[in-house]
Amino acid sequence: MAETTTFTNATQILEPFRGVKKVTLEEYFTSGHRTCQGCESALVMKLMVKASGPRTIVLGSTGCMYVANTTYYTTPWVVPWMHTQLGSSGSAALGTAAGLKALMRKGKMKSEPINVIAFCGDGGGADMGLGAISATLTHKEYNSLILLYDNESYANTDIQLSGMTPYGAHTTFSPPGRAKRIIHTRWKKNMAGMMAAGHPECRYVATVCASYAVEMMNKVRRALTIGGPTFIHSLDPCPKGWDYDPMLSHELGELAIETGLFPLYEVEDGVVKYYGKTRAIVEGRARKPVREYLLKQGRFAHFTEEDLEYFQKKVDETWEKWEIPAVIPFRRLDATRAALDTK
Ligand SMILES: Cc1ncc(C[n+]2csc(CCOP(=O)(O)OP(=O)(O)O)c2C)c(N)n1
Ligand code: SF4
Ligand SMILES: [Mg+2]
């Protein structure tokens, strides 16, 4: 993790936690929520706001992290929190950051650093709210973080498939049948890579997983410190939607990284840096077979050997053929040149 630097429009100085023993004890997302047992998205909320601290406003689009966290008369949020429409996390982040700046400029409120974080689910962010997130990432004069918590379905409305649902997964919109086993045949969007490649003035894009909590919190801190709009994509195992024993949440997060399916990286000012076990893979460690990850989840229970092989082949391609392995999906330049030469 790069050292914290203060920029002209930076929010606050949030030093990285140097190890788990240095993490602050205060909680800003506490009891009072009703998420499922083993819900990693709830853990993401807790870690996200623990990293950002008390000087934070959280905005969140409709989904499990809205509905289950604000049940009538109860809420786990200690910091100010506001709900926004399903596709509006980008607009909420930009509008809040711009509003605070205007009020401070006009002297209507004290000029002081305030973190603005807007979260969205994969349905609300990667599908419905993609345009608004993209627009926000072009407004470099406003500081905000958009955190996409990806449980790989429209979970709150009973597990419908989204553009982030993995190939072949059983959802309520893609139940495997006898005549047709694989209903969902599209490959998952590459959200963080898309945000990094498509927004050259967005200074910080990262991927995280709550199985690696300190790393995750430090990436949140970096995103809030660097200045301008930033984006983080978090992969969140969801016991209900993925159909597994809640005690496996942490392990599934680790397996997603160890199989190379979900790489941990950051792109800061255009420079890619890999983290943890992803970095070890880049440096030559073997990836675990994806079957170890898939077969622990009921949503892939209908997979045959052929399906597992297809899935493995697609993941292998991201490592072997992509220009920046597992990050940017353009074919490698040497392969492109070879293809052009044969024409
Ligand atoms: C415009 C609109 N369409 C549909 C809904 C119904 N709805 C509420 S939550 C939700 C699922 C959102 O999925 P996601 O963003 O992935 O969050 P998750 O529930 O998985 O946490 C849907 C479809 C809505 N609230 N607003
Ligand atoms: S359905 Fe999934 S994301 Fe929603 S509260 Fe339950 S475990 Fe969490
Ligand atoms: Mg979702």
15-43 confidence digits (pLDDT tens): 999 999 999 999 999 998 999 999 999 99
Q: What is the pTM of this model?
A: 0.95
Residue 267 token pair:
């792109």
Q: What is the mean pLDDT of residues 216-244?
A: 97
Tell me the CATH number at 221.
3.40.50.970
Q: What is the pLDDT of residue 1?
A: 42
pLDDT over 80 (residue 12): no
Using an 8 Å Cβ cutoff, are 237 and 248 in contact? yes
Token digits of residue 290: 């994806």
Angle, helix 40-52 to helix 213-225, in steps of 10 degrees: 50
Residue minimizing CA distance to atom 5 of ligand 2: 35
Position 343 scores a pLDDT of 65
- Check residue 73 and give its pLDDT: 83
Q: Calculate mean pLDDT across residues 102-129.
A: 95
Q: What gap in Å lies between CA 72 and CA 89, rounded to an integer?
A: 22
- CA distances from residue 197 to 15, 137, 308 in whole angstroms, order as listed: 27, 12, 30
Instruction: Give the model's pLDDT for residue 5.
Output: 39
pLDDT at 332: 77
Helices assigned H by DSSP within the chain:
40-52, 64-67, 89-105, 122, 130-136, 191-198, 213-225, 239-242, 249-258, 276-282, 291-294, 305-320, 333-341
Residue 63 alpha carbon, nearest atom of ligand 2: 4
Whether the predicted pLDDT of 4 surpasses 50:
no
The residue among 8 and 101 whose pLDDT is bigger is 101
Residues with Cβ within 8 Å of 123's Cβ and at least 6 positions away in sequence, in order, are 63, 86, 153, 154, 160, 162, 164
Task: Compute the CA torsion angle 133, 198, 10, 276 (nearest 10 deg).
Answer: 100
Read off the tokens for 16: 């990285």
Please report, rounded to a whole number, the percentage of residues in the chain having pLDDT higher than 90: 89
199 domain-assigned: yes
User: Would residue 12 count as lying in a domain?
Assistant: no
Range of the structural domain that residue 292 is part of: 20-307
Check pLDDT > 70 for residue 7: no
Is residue 249 predicted with pLDDT exceeding 70? yes
Atom of ligand 2 nearest to the CA of 37: 7
| Sequence-separated (6 or more) residues with CB below 8 Å from residue 51 | 14, 17, 216, 217, 218, 220, 221, 224
Q: Does residue 319 lie within any of the structural domains?
A: no
pLDDT surpassing 70 at residue 207: yes
Compute the distance from residue 156 Cα to the ligand 1 centre, in Å: 6
For residue 2, is pLDDT > 80?
no
For ion ligand 3, residues whose CB falls within 5 Å: 121-123, 151, 155
pLDDT band (50, 70, 90) for residue 184: very high
**Residue at 314 is within a domain:** no
Q: Residue 283 C-alpha to ligand 2 middle, in angstroms?
A: 35
- Report how far ligand 2's centroid is from the alpha carbon of 250 (Å): 14
Using an 8 Å Cβ cutoff, are 140 and 115 in contact? no
Q: How far apart are CA 260 and CA 316, in angstroms?
A: 8
Q: Could you say which ligand is closest to the alpha carbon of residue 34? A: 2
Which distant-in-sequence residues (6+ apart) come within 8 Å of 176 by Cβ? Answer: 170, 182, 183, 302
Residue 335 in domain: no
124 lines ligand 1 (CB under 6 A): yes
Ligand 1 touching residue 241 (CB < 6 A): no
Considering the domain boundaries, does residue 231 fall inside one? yes
Of 66-70, 228-232, 271-275, 328-332, which gets the smallest average pLDDT?
A: 328-332
Judged by phi (left if over 0) then psi (alpha if -120 to 50, else beta), residue 249 lies in alpha
Instruction: Tell me the three state secondary structure of residue 265.
Output: strand
Structurally, the chain folds into a number of domains equal to 1
Residue 29 maps to a domain: yes
Mutational pocket test of ligand 2: of 64, 149, 249, the residue with most ligand atoms within 8 Å of the beta carbon = 64
To the nearest whole percent, how much of the chain has pLDDT over 70? 95
Inside any domain, residue 45: yes
State CA 44 to chain mean position distance.
Answer: 9
What does the mean pLDDT of the chain come to?
Answer: 94
Alpha-carbon distance of 146 to 137, in angstroms, equals: 9
Residue 192 pLDDT > 80: yes
User: Which ligand 1 atom sits closest to the C-alpha of 164?
Assistant: 16
Q: Average pLDDT in the 228-246 region? A: 98
Tens digits of per-residue pLDDT, 305-338? 999 999 999 999 999 999 999 999 998 777 667 7
